[in-house]
Every structure is written in C-alpha cells, then in structure tokens.
Structure 1
C-alpha cells in the first residue's frame, strides 16, 4: 500500500501577503484549489443583508480577459471538472477540481475573477433576480425554515438572529449607497491578507508553489482585517435552551471564550455523540423508546464562540425532553471520565487518517483550507475540557455506559495465502474471470460477476457493483427496513474509506461499494448478511428525510421512470429466491479478489449473466408526473440515444459538452427562468441520454419545456457557429476526460458499470475517447437532428400533469 501523505501540508505566506497551503499528492489523478476568504454574511453592513452572497454570484459572471464562455465555470465544465462556491457566516469559499493539465488555466480564471470582477448594473440586476428566486424557494422550504428557527433562543443582538439571505428588497442595485457598500466590502475583504489558498495535486511541490505565487501576484495586497467579535450568544445567564416539536427535540448549548483548538474538540465530541453502537447514547435511547436518531453538530463557530446542536428524532408522536436531556447529561458525564482514553483517541486518529488517505483532491484542499487536524491534539484535549465544563458535564454518572466496539474495518487483515486464486468459487460462479481472460480464451458467455482489468489493481481504490433484478418490487416498508439495517455498516465502512450505497429503482436493487479496496471483501460479506435476514428480524421503522426541493425530487425519481412496472411484495425470502444477480468489480488486486471468495459464495439469488436490454422509448414522448409539495414548477427532459452504438453515445456526449454553457447562459442568465438550470449527459440502467432540467418560481412547466425544445432546435446553429480552433480544442478536451490515466477511479468505475449494462466491450473507455475524436461536424449535425426529432424518444418528468398533444402518460 502506498505511503500516506504527510498529515500536514506545507504552509507559508507569500510575498504579496497571500497565505497558502501546498500538498504534493503523487497518487492523485486530479488537482484542486480551495480559496477561503475571511469574510461572510455576518461581515456585511446591517443595511444590506445578502450583500456577501450577492458578490459571490457576481464574481462568476466573467471578466474582460475571460468572458462568460471562457470564465471559470464554463472552463471547468468543459474540462470535466467540478466547481462551486459557498457563502458562510464568516467565510466565503471558492473551490474547483481539474485534471493536472487544465489546472493552471483554472487558477488563472479564479484569480482574474477575484481581482477584476465585472460589476456593471445590468449584470447585477439580472443576478439579483436569481438570488430573489433562491430566496423565495428558501422561504418556502420547511427544512430551511426549521433550521433557521433553531437560533430563536439566542440573543436578538447576535448576528445569527439577523436576516442574511438577500432578496429583491435588500439588494437595491440602482441606489448609489448600495453600490458604494458593495465596492467597500469588496475592497476591504477581497485582499491577500484575508485569503488562504490551498492547492493539492500530483504536481511537484515546486510547480504548486509557482502557481500559488502567480495567483498571489494578481490579487490586490492588503493586511488582515481585525473583525469585531459579536455579542454574547445568549444575553441571559443560561447557556442552553431547548425546542420541542412534533417527534423532535432540539437541545442547543451556547459556548463562549473557547480556546483556539475548540473546533477539533467539538468535532471529536460530536463524533462520539453520533456513534450508534451498543453502550452509547443513541443505542440506549432507542432501547428506551425515547429517540430513533440523534445528530450532533456545531452550527456556528467564530471568535471563541460555538453553538452546539443536538437533534433527537422519534417516530412516536410525543417526546420526553426532560428524559432525553437527563440521559444526555449522564452520558456526557461518562464521556468526561473517558475523554483522555487512549482507545477513543487512537480510534479517532485512525478514522481521520483513513479519511485523508481516501479523500479526493478537492476534499483534501478543502480540509487544508479549513486547517483541520488529523488527530485530537493536546491543545484539543484542553479545549474539550473547556467545552464539557461549559455544557455542564461532570465526572458523575449512573450508566451503564461503555466505550463503543472498535470499527472492524479500520484495521488491515493479514494477506491470505494463494492470493492469485479466488476462494469459495463454485460451479454457481462459473466464469469468474477478468475481461482480458474472457477474450484470450475466446469465450462468448458472460460471467455473472466480472473482474474488470480496465483499471490497474495495484492502487488503493476499487469498486464493486452487485445488481439484483427482482420478480416484483419490494414494498416501501421492506425497502426502508433493508436500508435501516445497512446504516450502521455504512457508517463503519465510510469511516474505513468505503462508500456503501443501496439503491432501489423499480424492481432492481443495486449494492455499490467504492473507495479503499482492502476492507471491501469483509464489508461485502457483512452487507450480504444484513440484507438476507428473515423478514421477522426487520423492524418496520419509518424513515424520515428532509424534504427535497422539487427538481431534486424529480432527479431522485428519474432512474425508476424507465423501468417496467412490477408487482409489489413484502416477502423478503421470496424476493431473494427469485432474484437474478450480476455484478462488476473494478480495480481490485488479485489479493482482494481472493479475499472476496467467501462473500461471492453467499450472494443470494440466481447468478444470471444475461443482460436485459435498456428500456427503449421507440420515438415516443412519455410523461411522468411526480407530485411535489412546492408550488414551483420543475421539469426534467431526458433524451436517450436512438441506438446503443458507441458512435451514438460519443455524439451525444459531444452535444452535451458543447451545449452545457450555452443552455445555462440562455435559460438562466438571459431569460432568467429560474435558479436551478442545468444540462448534461446522464446514464441510467445502461441507457445514455441528454438531460435538461429547470426549476422556476414564476414560469409554468409547459412554458419551461417550450424553452428547452427551442434550445434543442437551435443546436445545429450553435454547432455551426463554433470556429475551427474551438471545435478541435473542445472535442479534444472531451476525449481527454476519458483517458484512463486521468480518470479518478470512482468515475471510471461508474462508466464501466454503465458500459457493462449497455453491453459494451471491456475496452470501452479507450474506444470512447477514440470515437469522440473521430466525429466531424457533419456527423454531429446529424446527431443534433436525431435529437431534435426525438429519434430515441423523449421522457419528461415534471410536477404537473401531462399536457397532451405528442405527450403520452407513462403506463
């Protein structure tokens, strides 16, 4: 296993005053930048709520050097990366991730947009309407309003009690006073002394430092601004309060004058509060019927202040706040007696080191910009004592409590003998070979579990996909029970560097694992045991999750919309007995493959290598209505390829690549239809398609769909308007995204899984890049025409009924 990166990055202050952290991570395939500006919504003059968030939006509108279609967002999207920003109470964060080859161009654009923002009034007026639409959605979102209400027990003079969202009324763009405040805020805080730039990537330290110095030279210099500490969180002598609602109790603790290392102390405390293992707080509350879930988090931290929130959720209609608080304080007393336990600190350090080991470039850059520690330091121990004292925890408890069992997946097992063999293989698993072995033997049959050699097996990361096709769909109670049974395992696996998901789409179940390959065989074995328990062992627990905004609800429903409807059953054993399974393992070493033998022999159902053809719309226009509680209109249009040929997929990918920025610019910036506007390529159940999505507070679904259709009809004109240089450059940039040497393992695994479902060969990734480069304009014009004529059919998912006409209601 490769050596771990050094837990601390190199840190220095450059000549112009910019503080930087640099981390050379040779095993990464991507590079990332995270810029933290020490200014947020609470640093804005009280007369102009939302100004900090408004400025964040304006910075993305392009500059004279890099106009909209060459600005950071368009550039990152064009090169297959990810980019975003976030305005917090006291900080504003900008971050992106790109291939190492494109990374310097991203940093140039980030520095230019921060140093030379475009502030013309027309742009501001348009962007204010986007923020107002966000405000309207936020004000109607029950979860967001409930979160805001948590601050009601604080002092009215504290900024957490203020309004900071920003809307049409609080952002009077034409007023000279507002423009002066916007300029003053920018000039005061967007200076080197207020910024920390964190760079992570496989580039050498010298390369990273040179890029940081180039960034430093562009930003205006400035000293660190000494910001005034806010008033006390609570004016009264009390330092805690509670809120009681239907099926929930919220306890909040206001902490003051904490030492510098209090952030790591609070993270340590919340980790153990959230631990659900036997002997802990949640396990006892569940046993007593007081709560079904518990979530502890620090909602706010600044200048020695912190607000600790502990949320209890119960399926019962009545709550018992006094009993909950009593049990919490008793557990905190036990924890206070154990806070110096070497077991707790060692387990926590192992967890943080594993997270660092498996974090992508962007996650590492964000951790570095937040200056997170890799263990609980001695200063953190002292800060923890201060936190516990203020909460009122004393080393006096009744119990019984005990320390949680160690995470079984954080420790490496000894390597098995005969690592080149697959143990546990039986005739039921005939054909457990690699793609390469299948070709060399000239065998035409498929294995139910394929071990792909498209990714090398000598890296830390890997992926496992297991799919079951059921004779009937599981009823919602059984489905939620399966998900609940996996939750403790998922948490242990996540801490050990493996993301485990269990996805249900119609009559298909998908168990997916991505991350560190070493613990995967053991995790898979445990997961299969949990999923195959008899019906009687499953508690029918009600699952509660925050209400999603309409467009997210549609995205969640979309994958199942293309599957055939099925009968519903609540008999787990019957479902398993008739289920047919297949799977794919990617990037696993021979040793890991060997360790999977026991788990593979225990997969329930019938091994079935026969693929089912992806659903076809046959040029139909099919409408799915998904009811959402919000009054805002939301629509998704999914346009599949006409065939499963790789040439069609390549053409669709190129169409998506070339139209993404233009679609956003037209519907969001120019027409201002809504704040949730996106397009891109989507693959579901082996089917490739273009996906367009819009959510709007003011425009009806039918009108939104009309704008999408109008955009699609103009794609040939869009393609024809691209000059030859840009055409070649963008086509090459797209093809480069599928270079196996540059693809992160999680993305590569997902592409290979979809390729398997679509029936493509094992060299799919190399073929895809080559096919993209072979497409000329004439072929792309023809693809745009096929898209416009719905040759592969169109599937619309919206929160209004079918409008009729060409559209047919889904069966």
Structure 2
C-alpha cells in the first residue's frame, strides 16, 4: 500500500512532544502527537458531516447515525461492545453531532489504544444497520429528545430555526425524535446506509492521536485505520444562503424558557471573517468583549449596573459566513433591554474610536508565542478536539500555528468587522417564563414565541476612545513584596513541594500549582463556600485575558471545608500568575462586587434548583454522604465562615528561591490560622439495608440513583470496588439502555467519598415509571450476581492486573505525582493508590467474593427517587 504523505508543519511547540501531520493516499488527515511520559492515550476521529448535511426528509438522521455506529459492526456485531472494551482499558468515550461535523473520541490506558482504535475504525467503516437495532436506537433518540425538552438550549434553537432564512440549514430540526424519523425500520436503515456511504470517507475525515507509544507505532496505527476508509471526498454540498434576512432586521424574538430565564442573546451575521486577517480581527473583538476590565465590554456593562455576565462565541459555516453570539445576563430582569443595548453600542462606538495601532499587539503576540512554545496545557483530549474543529475551516498545515494571530492587525479589516456590528443588523432573543404575549409555536418542540421588528430607539452616546488605563490586563507586573528569608515559616500554611521531571528545554514545559483554603467543615457549609467562591472568582476575572494569553488555565473547586484554586501552565509564567492571583484576591471588595457575587451565587442556586432529575439526585446524594444532611433541609447562610482558614500550597520543587519567595510573601500577608491542623471530614456511613429518599424535581422525567457503599475504607475495599465497577458498568448500560430502552441516560460509575468506595447506578427515563425502573435494576442486580459468580477467576485477575497497571501509570505521571503528594500531605484517600495497585495484583478469590458479597448480599444503600413538584 502507498505510504502516508508527511505534511510540513511550519512550527511545533518546544515541549518535549513529537508532532507529525500526515495525509493518507485516500485523503485522511492524521495529526499524531507522541508524549513519552503521557499516562493515557487519547484519540479523536472526526468527519466533516453533521445535521446541515442530512436529507430534509429525515430530520435527525445525522444524530441517529452517530448512535447507530455503536450498535454493531462487521467485526464486532454485538451492540454496545465498544463501551465494554473501553472499560476494560480503564477509559472513557463519547460521540457528538454538530451542524457540520460528527466526532468520536476515547481516552484509555496506552496499552488499549490499538484494540480500541481498531474497533472504532470498524464501527466507522462497516456498521451493520440492522433493522431491529435501528428501531431500538430510534427510541433512544426519542427518549433523549424528550429529556432535552427541559434544556433551554433546545428551545432556543427551535425558535431561531423559525426566524432564519428557510433555505439555511439552521432552519432544520436536527435533534431527531420518533416522529421525524418515522417509517419502516428497513427504509430508515437504507437512508442511514446511503448517508454513511456519501460522507464517511477518508477525504472527509481526520484522525488525531496523543499517546506515549513510539511515533513509528502511531503512524502504523493511523495507516491501518486510513486503509479501511473508502477513498475520495464527501458528496458535494449546496452552499447555504445568508442566515438572517436583512429586511427582517433589526428583530426581536421573545420565547418561553422551560426553566429559569436565559441570558439575552444578541446575534450578528458576519461576512469576510474567514480569512487570516478576518479571523485575527474577530479574535481581538472577542477578547475585548469578554473582558471584565473597565474598558472591556463586560466591564463597561457591569460598571453601569446593567449586566452580570457576558459570553461571546463565533460559529463558523462553510458558506464563508459566521454568526457572532453574545449571551448577556442582565442584572435586573425587570428592565427592558433598551438600556443594555444602548450601553453596548456606546461601548462599540468607544472601541471604534480607540485606534487599533495603539494596542499592545506585538506584546500580545509574544504571549501567544510563549504559550505556543510551551505546548498544550491541561487535558489533551479537548485540545485534540479543538484542533479537529479548526481542520474544518483552516489549512491542515496551519492548525498548530500561532504566527500572525494577534500582531499586525490591518485597520481596514478591523473597521470592516465593526461596521457589521450595527443596530440595524441585530437579532435580539430574550426568554421569559410563561406564554403571555407569545402567540406563535415552534414545530417539534411546541415552544411559544413571538418575532417582531425591534423598534427600540438605539442612541449610542459615546464618542471618546477607551481609556488606556482601563484596558484589559495583558501584562501584569510582579508586585513588590516585603523581604523574607528562605527560613521564615508561614503560619498556618502547609507547603507541599512536588518533584517534577525536567522540562524538555529551558523555560518550557507545563507545571501545576495549587492553593487550598481549609476550614473545619462545621465552619464552612456548602452555601458559604459557594458564596466565597463566587466572590473570589469575580476578583480573579481581570486576570483572565492575561492568563489565557499566557497559556495558564485556572480552576476553582469547592468541597466540604475546602475551596481550592489550581493553576496549570508554562513554567516561565506560572509563578507570576500565582502571585498576581493572590494579590487580586486580597483586594477589598466593594458594594458592586458584592452584588455581582450574590447574583452569581443565586444563579448557581437557580441552576441547581432547575436541574434535570439526575443532576438533582446527584446533588442531593453529595449533600447526604459528604455532609450528612439533605441540602433541602439546610438554610442558606449569608455570613462569612468563622475563624481564619488554614492554607495548603502545592508547587514544583524545582522552583528556585526567587520564584517561591514572592508567593510565600503573598501567602504570609493573608489572614490565616496560626497552625495547620486540618483533617478531611468523615463521610456518613450507611447501615446495612436500603434507605429510600424522595427528592423534589421540576422536570417530569423519572430518575433514580441506587448508591451502594463499601464496607470500609481499607485498601482492599478501595481496590476491589474499582475493579467491580470495571466489570459491571458496560453490562448496566447494555441491559437497561440498549436492551430494555429505559431512557437515554443510564450509567454505572465508581463513586468514592472521603476514602470510602461505592457505586452509583443511575437511570433517568421520560417513558418509564419508578416501578418499572426499580424492577429493571433489581432484575439486573440478580443477573449480575449470577454472571459475576460464574466469571472465571483468571479473567478477574487479568482485569485486576490491567487496572493496577493503569493506576500505576497514572500515579507515575507528573499529574499523578502531584495528586499523590497532595493526598499524603492532607491525609486524603488518593494517598493509598500505590497500595491499591499491590492489592489488585495480589487479589485472592476470598477478597473478590467479599467485594461481591458487600455489594449484593449485605448491601449498604441509599435509593434516591425523583418526585415532580
């Protein structure tokens, strides 16, 4: 067979990874990334086909096809066998259908890359499309649709489809349900085959892999996958017309949200922004818009008390047109949006008056280049998926490139973009609760809406440029600190240095640092923690632009008694990022910031209150097990936690004194406890038997969680219950979702709480009542008892060794060593992971029997059931 053609990448990150871009003789693009120290292998297989390509007589066909590829293929005819394979290799998988692409991805133990890719390729190339499987999966699609009727995004999409140009693909119903996909299963199966043949071809696909295997091995895997795909490009597509009819703009769309009211949505159709210069202008616009700095779009609206949040996104389409989406959360829902719109267009006028040549374009590009050199930060699978998205619109050789993304912006290109953000081109969509004044109905979802001209007199009143002192932060300086010596202790702070491997080159590589504020759990309840996190995240927001440009990712988390902030990014900028973050958190908060924090907290509470039943049950389970009392039974506390926190600080041991001292000085200036004596809270221990609890939910779907708790927190139990999960997760999915069609959301997962192992069995169904769900779970438990009892112990041992290899690989990675050091310093459960590996490798028949007995014969369970309110 002809060999893969190597394509030249202008530059690759200097991060110790090996990058190769290849094209198969049939046209499949393959980006391969080898990282010798990676603890997992990730794979993304993507095709440039989605709901915009499906035949108009079969709405939802692309979505159904994505599902059907998991329902049996030539070499693997058993439906649902791919989840079982991925589970055997301690992995995860998913798939998704978008307007112009369909994506399949998985992440597994590196040893599982070859078998999982081989089966995924067979699924993509040779699906069976059996008529009975088509009928079964059509019902799953229908169940998913009815569950998603509680999702405001589905209703927003439905009403937008009613007002866009009727010949544009966005006017279609793409989710699919039993009615849109009605007909004889054999006829539907034939339509699926035809659609698959037309679009699942090498020239319409890309394969992206990240793994520790030698590059030669990765190339061979890609070659084998490419050889199986049909050659040639996909079927020709008809270019769509413009999205929004100019004669209908400016327009106002009001629609009924199924839950809480959604942010205002502002839409502008853009032309001429698919080129390099056009993309550059759009990137600058999005950065200005989303910035909370006083001169940023979000900061401008917040300063005037008009908005709490602003999110911006650009959706690109094949017809060289794009859709700019602004989601703006108003601070006061009672006010009409005229004031907010006038303020936004006033800001755009000020931005227009601010010459782009005076922006720090070169400095911004330098930050981008530094981040590029350090390589991708965080999880590699989302990064591979984002590159796959870029491959839909950009030349393959440029997908890793950062040159010219920020510097040298042409004034004409910038003006062309701003000229398109005029009031006359605006489509404004606002949600409301209730149907009052909404006479029209969207097909498929029956969403009430009204569309009318936007007659609000927009009068921007700003002609001055934006004050440079108020611009977004693009280059924070290291603050001056009081002198400290290396031996100065920091009261109440526990330092946790972590050994890291050397970076591939001087000044490059990714590192992690973490700060945790720790209180006794009785001093910081859940609501207090949520309020504090809302306030602190707002205080940190002005640094978001700089952190993102530098390649620093930050993540807040909130657990019983602990609020933590983790930063991950390039070694040369991470210490400065941590010091800048601590300084931002020390800044006094004013009344406006407190109002924003309370709004953010209340938004989180409303989202939790209106969540789907499965999420409500998971939330209640967390409250019951982690804190011992139901969330619904506790009052929200408005006060700050009593006493000063203790602080834990994790950092790379390789940091020099000059990098540690500014952080230590910032920590020393915080108000903390005099000594570090924090211990993790103990979980609630269940007694033997099953305790049933009803949980009020606002959605009509029925949901149940059967939480099964282990007997103890011993190393043997921790290891055994993880092994148990690997043996039962695929079976639970297959029996209750694939075969019994209980609903779209069916999952079994390992759930460890404060060092005590457990399992969650979760089902959410729009079509079955609680009795049917409970009976199905009980019957499955009985069948699993028989299946596991008959399972040869040699097979159990083989899976135990495989799990031990996976856990050991994880703990030996940089991230794993960080977590191990963190857990040992704070007496957290992960501290025993190496001992768990040994227990798995030494597993006996008696220990395996005890695990099964503790789960099935002497259970400790909570049974949560949703109840509509």
TM bucket normalised to smaller: 0.7 to 0.9
Q: Could you list the per-position Cα deviations for residues 704-756 of structure 1 after superposition, in whole angstroms to 9, with x for gaps in the alignment?
A: 24433443344342223434664343222211121146765556655776677
Structure 2 residue corresponding to 1:388, chosen from 418, 437, 455:
418
Q: Deviations over 1:579-618 (max 9, x none)?
A: 6646473755454666542354336346324454332123
Q: Secondary structure at the match of 2:697?
A: coil
Compared CA separation, residues 401 and 528, structure 1 to 2 (3 A): closer
Q: How does 1:85-164 map to 2 (within 5 A)?
A: 85-164=95-174
Equivalence map 1:405-484=2 (5 Å): 407=473, 424-426=488-490, 428-429=492-493, 449=494, 451=496, 453=498, 460-464=510-514, 465-473=516-524, 476=527, 479-480=530-531, 482-484=533-535
- Answering whether residue 402 of structure 2 is matched by residue 374 of structure 1, we say yes
Closer, same or farther in 2 for the Cα pair 1:159/1:739, shift >3 Å? same
Structure 2 CA distance for partners of 1:87 and 1:768, relative to 1, 3 Å: same
* In 1: Cα distance, 2:421 partner to 2:365 partner: 22
* Higher mean displacement: 77-86 or 54-63: 77-86
C-alpha distance 273-94 of structure 1, shift in aligned 2 (>3 A): same
Q: CA deviation at 1:127?
A: 0.9
In the alignment, structure 1 residue 730 sits paired with structure 2 residue 799: yes
1:657 and 1:151 mapped to 2: Cα distance?
42
User: Residues 342-391 of structure 1, C-alpha deviation per residue, up to 9 Å, x if partnerless?
Assistant: 52464366358638431432123223222355365389868655433333
**Structure 1 equivalent of residue 697 of structure 2:** 628
Alpha-carbon shift at residue 181 of structure 1 (Å): 1.9
Structure 1 residue aligned with 2:301, among 275, 282, 285? 285
Q: Taking structure 1 as reference, are residues 743 and 475 closer, same or farther at Cα in structure 2, changes over 3 Å only?
A: closer
In structure 2, the residue matched to 1:672 is 741
- Is 2:757 aligned against 1:688? yes
Task: Compute the TM-score of the two structures, normalised by the length of structure 2.
Answer: 0.79
Range with greater deviation from structure 2 (70-79 or 208-217): 70-79
Aligned partners of 1:457 and 1:587 also within 8 Å = no
Matches of 1:84 and 1:549 in 2, distance apart?
20
User: Are 1:398 and 2:488 counterparts?
Assistant: no
Is 1:354 matched with 2:371? yes
Tell which deviates more after alignment, 657-666 or 626-635.
626-635
How far residue 484 of structure 1 moved from its aligned partner, in angstroms, is: 3.6
Which one of 598, 602, 615 corresponds to residue 541 of structure 1? 598
Structure 1 residues 285 and 781: alpha-carbon distance in aligned structure 2, compared to 1, 3 A threshold: same
Distance 1:630-1:489 versus aligned 2 partners, 3 A rule: same
Tell which deviates more after alignment, 468-477 or 321-330: 468-477
Q: 1:778 to 1:696 in 2, by over 3 A?
A: same
Q: TM-score, normalised by structure 1?
A: 0.85
* Superposition pairs of residues 482-561 of structure 1, within 5 angstroms: 482-489=533-540, 492=543, 495=548, 496-503=551-558, 505=560, 508-516=561-569, 519=574, 523=578, 526-527=581-582, 530=585, 538-539=594-595, 541-543=598-600, 544=603, 547-561=610-624
Q: Secondary structure at the match of 1:357?
A: coil
Residue 485 (structure 1) shift: 3.6
Q: 1:254 aligns with which of 263, 269, 283?
A: 269
Q: In structure 1, what is the Cα distance between the partners aligned to 2:542 and 2:32? A: 30
Greater alpha carbon shift after TM alignment, 528-537 vs 671-680: 528-537
SS at match of 2:26: coil
By how many angstroms is 1:263 displaced? 5.1
Q: After alignment, is 637-646 or 41-50 more displaced?
A: 637-646
State the distance in 2 between where 1:179 and 1:196 align: 25
Match of 2:686 in 1: 617
Deviation, structure 1 residue 413: 10
CA contact (8 A) 2:492 2:647 kept: no
Q: Contact (CA 8 Å) 2:17, 2:35: kept in 1 or not?
A: no
Q: CA deviation at 1:188?
A: 0.4
CA distance in 2, matches of 1:535, 1:402: 22
**Bigger CA drift: 389-398 or 319-328?**
389-398
8 Å contact from structure 2 (residues 810, 816) kept in 1: no
**Structure 2 segments unaligned to the other structure (5+ residues):** 1-11, 256-260, 391-398, 425-459, 504-508
Partner of 1:76: 86
Match in the other structure for 1:33:
43
Counterpart selection for 2:207 from 194, 197, 203:
197
Of stretches 99-108 and 354-363 in structure 1, the one that deviates more from structure 2 is 354-363
In the alignment, the residues of structure 2 paired with residue 313 and residue 189 of structure 1 have an alpha-carbon distance, to the nearest angstrom, of 39
Provide the C-alpha distance between the structure 2 equivalents of 1:491 and 1:534, rounded to a whole number of angstroms: 13
Residue 192 of structure 1: how far off its partner (Å)? 0.7
1: distance between equivalents of 2:855 and 2:861? 9
Does structure 1 retain, via aligned residues, the 8 Å contact 2:743–2:764? Answer: yes
Counterpart residue number, 1:805 = none
Match of 2:21 in 1: 11
Per-residue displacement from partner, 1:488-533 (whole Å, max 9, x unpaired)?
526736624232214154xx33324152376368537745873896
Aligned-residue Cα RMSD (Å) equals: 3.9
* Inter-partner Cα distance in structure 1 for 2:355 and 2:132: 60
Task: Give the whole-Å Cα distance in 2 for the aligned partners of 1:463 and 1:339.
Answer: 35
Shift of the 417–723 alpha-carbon distance from structure 1 to 2, 3 Å rule, reads farther
**Residues 565-584 of structure 1 aligned to structure 2 (within 5 Å):** 565=629, 569-572=637-640, 575-577=641-643, 581=646, 583=648
Residue of structure 2 in register with 1:800 after alignment:
867
